[in-house]
Each structure stands twice: as structure tokens, then as C-alpha cells.
Structure 1
Amino acid sequence: MRHILIKAGNVTIRARLLSTPTADRIWDSLPMHGAVQTWGREVYFRTSISPDIEPDARTVVSKGEIAFWPDGDAITIGFGATPISKRGEIRFTSKCNVWAIALDDVDQLKGVYAGEEITVMEAELAEPGWQGNSPAPPLHRARRHNRLHAGACPIDDANG
């Protein structure tokens, strides 16, 4: 079973990869680094890969599902409502491929701010001795500072 760590600001989240073409592409591209962008209760970052939309891609995901946004070439993690959500759902701007499941509480991402560094890496490389069944590495809260704004919609990104 393949596991990763997502480190953003002072937050660390473990995740288990699913058996999907997108998960395979991401796994083969690790480690990945970028700058956090936010949109409501969504954290995402641009990547250098461009997987195709998978047949089961969707715009609404469940908390803890980690997705890839093909229209923006970005890894995205929704942890609550976005500006277009209805009745508390987690809704992205277009269909996304779900490729991993978080093993830790994604609500920690409330403490991550636009512009902070984000890294996705193999868990075994990041935390020697940690295997998927062992206790998680320590989880940290991000320190308070002014929030940078990524814009009203991920599509309107000035960087891309």
C-alpha cells in the first residue's frame, strides 16, 4: 500500500493512495512542491503533471478525499464549503479525479495560508520508520499571520 505525507505550512497530513491512473502519475512524480492557493475551504497547488479526467471524476467530494483538478493541473484538498458549494458540500469548479484518502483530519488545513510552501512526498522517505499502520508523525498548527488571497476562483489564478 502506498502512503504519502502532505506538508503545508506547519501542518502534516498522512494519506493513502488509491489505485487510479492519477495516483500512479502522482506517485511517479514525487516529491512535488508548490505554493498553497486557497478558495474557500479548499487548499490546492499547481503541478507539472496533466492527468486526463478519469471516468469517475466528480465536482463534489467528501471530506478527506484528495483530488486532482485536471483543468488547473493542481492537487486539491477540500475540507469544507467553497464559494460555489450548496448546503455544506465540498464542491470544486469542475470535475476532479479522487486519487487519495487522508488518514488525518483535513480540518487542520484551516491553519494553512496562501503562499505557504506545500510538499507531497512518499511517507517512508519523509518519516523513517513510519509505516502506514504506525502512529502518525506529530501534527502542528500553523502560526497566525495575515492571509494572502488567491482570488475569487482557482481559474482566475494570476500565476497560471
Structure 2
Amino acid sequence: MKIRISWPTGHVTATLDDTPTATALLAALPLQATAHTWGEEVYFDTGLAPALETDARQVVEPGTVAFWTEGNALALPYGPTPISRGGESRLASPCNVLGRIDGDPRALATVRSGGPIHVRKV
């Protein structure tokens, strides 16, 4: 299952795993939201409210596609956040892991907080 995440200055594709949250996200696509940044993470509201899954994690690899259940948001870390220790990608709280960005996740560095972001199926 692949999705495309795009914003005015770029885009990435991501491959999603077969998880309950990924299935819910795919069913809600396409969606448009306002992007927010937190350190080297992009996140945005999806309007979805899935439950926290048993394998949720707070520290993930850069490029992980995660769902922050406390904020009903997709979280896309590409480097350290304000609460990271060292170079890790530490999310605000444990998040459902949905998949991985294809290619270099640092493309997300061009997303501007307050700008539009779109997600659709590929």
C-alpha cells in the first residue's frame, strides 16, 4: 500500500504496512491538512481517532510514517525533535507505526509550518 504526501515545494511516497491504523488512513484518503513542524518532524491532523496499537513506539527511525493518537495526526520524523536524545527521532509520545518513507525522508525539510499538505493513494 503506497501513499503520496505532497506540499507546495515537494513530495514523498511512502509504503504502508498492513495495520489497523494504516487501513483506516487509506480509507480516509485523499485528505488535505495544514502542516506543522516540531524540530525535524512534520505532523498534521487527519480527522481520524484510532486506538494506540500494542506495538506503538516513541523512538523511531527517521523516515518512519507514524500516527500520533493523542493528536489525531500523522507524524513524519526525518531527524531529531526537541525532546530527542542525540540524533534519534523521538516522537511526542508513543505512536502507531504505519510504514516508511520511500527514499530520503530529508525531503520533508522543505515543508513549511502553516502550509498545505495533501495525502493520497498512489
Report the TM range for the smaller structure's normalisation.
over 0.9
Unaligned runs of 5+ in 2: none
Q: Does 1:38 align with 2:44?
A: no
- Residues 97-136 of structure 1 mapped to structure 2, 5 A cutoff: 97-123=96-122
Aligned mates of 2:99, 2:114 — CA distance in 1: 23
Alignment correspondent of 1:21? 20
Cα-Cα RMSD: 0.8
Distance 2:28 2:14 in 1: 16
- Measure, in 1, the Cα distance between the counterparts of 2:102 and 2:40: 18
Give the aligned partner of residue 69 of structure 1.
68
Of structures 1 and 2, the one scoring higher in RCO (CA 8 A, sep 6+) is: 2
What secondary structure, in the 3-state scheme, does the structure 2 residue paired with 1:87 have?
A: coil
**1:23 partner letter:** A
Q: Give the aligned residue type for 1:117.
A: P
Question: What number of residue pairs does the alignment pair up?
Answer: 122
Asked if 1:7 corresponds to 2:25, the answer is no
Rg comparison, structure with higher value: 1
- Detail structure 1 runs of 4+ shifted over 3 Å in the superposition: none
1:57 maps to: 56
CA distance in 1, matches of 2:104, 2:30: 22
AA at the equivalent of 1:50: A
Q: Which structure: greater strand fraction?
A: 2
Whole-angstrom distance in 1 between the partners of 2:37 and 2:100: 20
Does residue 86 (structure 1) correspond to residue 90 (structure 2)? The answer is no
Q: State the Cα distance separating 1:122 from its structure 2 match.
A: 0.6
Unaligned 5+ segments in structure 1 are 124-160
Q: Partner letter of residue 36 of structure 1?
A: A
The structural deviation recorded for 1:109 is: 1.1
TM-score w.r.t. length of structure 2: 0.97
Name the SS of the counterpart of 2:13 in structure 1.
strand
Local SS of the residue matching 2:51: coil
TM-score by length of 1: 0.74
CA distance in 2, matches of 1:11, 1:52: 31
